[in-house]
Amino acid sequence: MRNSTIDLLKAFASQIIVMHHLLLYTPMSPVLQAKWPELLGFIADEGRYVVQIFLVIGGFLAAQSMFGLLSKAGDVAVWPLFKKRFLRLAKPFWVAIAVAVLLGWLGGQIAMHEEVSALPSFTQLLAHVFLLHDIVEVEALSAGVWYVAIDLQLYLLLALFAWFSQKTEGFKLLQPTRALLLLAVAATIASLLVWNRESEHDEWAWYFFGAYGLGVLAYWAQREGKVIAGSMVIVCLLGVALWIEWRERLLLTGVTALLLMNSVRIERFVAALVQGPVRWLGDISYSVFLIHYGIAVFASSVVIALGLTSFAEMLAAFVVTWVVSIAAGWVLYWGTEQSL
């Protein structure tokens, strides 16, 4: 059954990320922000936080898979699960990186600017192929690509939790599903209260497991019909985490988890709002997220080469870049994700 809340959240978050990066990395941004400083300034500064939405959704959907395997006594084979997830993330990622490199080079032939990079080294490309770019500390070839590697790490960690819960038969005390929940909640608490407060951990899954784990908890509460208890746990966890150290991104994380937990109850209402275009934007959200940076770099070179300066010209360039990013995301989705 399709989840309209997930469709809506993915569509919203992906478009905010595109706007956020266009405001950070293109010459159109200063002109547009001078006209609408509060709105566009807020998106430029705080828009990165919507990645938390994807992290919570990732945990929710991964939990659906892992709890399903444990409930059906299916074998939790970590390597096949990891391989499948790797290919699902990596195939469109590889294409998007190739496009970013190509468009960056082409843009440099038209007009140089600070986002145009030199052609990558073999080592840099190899690190991106295996999603190790942050771990081995090579320069990223596109904006936001850290998320892809982190998503893979988080999925692997949850799969290992599920495998351990199954092999130990719930520590000989609990059902495997409850053992998985216990491990996920423990990692979530450790992340929210300790690891997420130290930025040197941000290339590893445990830094982000707080958001991912709340998605896991949201799915479990929905599955078991314990929405009130689950909501109380989320509110208490976030309350303690924010009391220890205030982090605005956690507020969005908590709202997303609560929405997902109640998504079955609000499906009829949300489905009335989420029609064809929004569902379509939700479907292609990952591909749009991947492809838009290369297009932004190339568009910036074109704007500079044409000497555009007026507000109308910059607004038109911004909108065209945005629309082309969505169209390119649809092509990437059609060519890679839809076939998986």
Least confident range of 33-37, 47-51, 193-197, 275-279: 275-279
CB 217 within 8 A of CB 234: yes
CA distance 186 to 210: 10
User: Which pLDDT tens digit goes with each residue over 107-134?
Assistant: 999 988 888 888 899 999 999 999 999 8
User: Which pLDDT tens digit goes with each residue over 252-308?
Assistant: 999 999 999 999 888 888 887 777 889 999 999 999 999 999 999 999 999 999 999
pLDDT level of residue 340 (50, 70, 90 thresholds): low
CA distance 192 to 207: 8
Which pTM value belongs to this model? 0.95
Question: Range of 148's domain?
Answer: 4-337
Per DSSP, the chain holds a count of helices (H) and strands (E) of: 15, 0
For the chain, percent of residues with pLDDT exceeding 70: 98
Phi-psi region of 103 (alpha: psi -120 to 50; beta: other; left: phi over 0): alpha
Q: For residue 298, what are the CA distances in angstroms to 6, 132, 306? A: 31, 26, 13
Average pLDDT (227-255) is: 95
CA distance 334 to 339: 7
pLDDT on residue 114: 84
Q: What is the mean pLDDT of the chain?
A: 93
b/e burial code for range 275-311 (CB count within 10 A of at least 16 → b): eeebbebbbbbbbbbbbbbbbbbbbbbbbbeeebeee
Residue 207 makes CB contacts below 8 A (sequence gap 6+) with 191, 195, 196, 198, 201
- State how many domains the chain has: 1
The answer to whether the Cα torsion of 3, 155, 340, 95 is positive or negative is positive
CA distance 230 to 249: 20
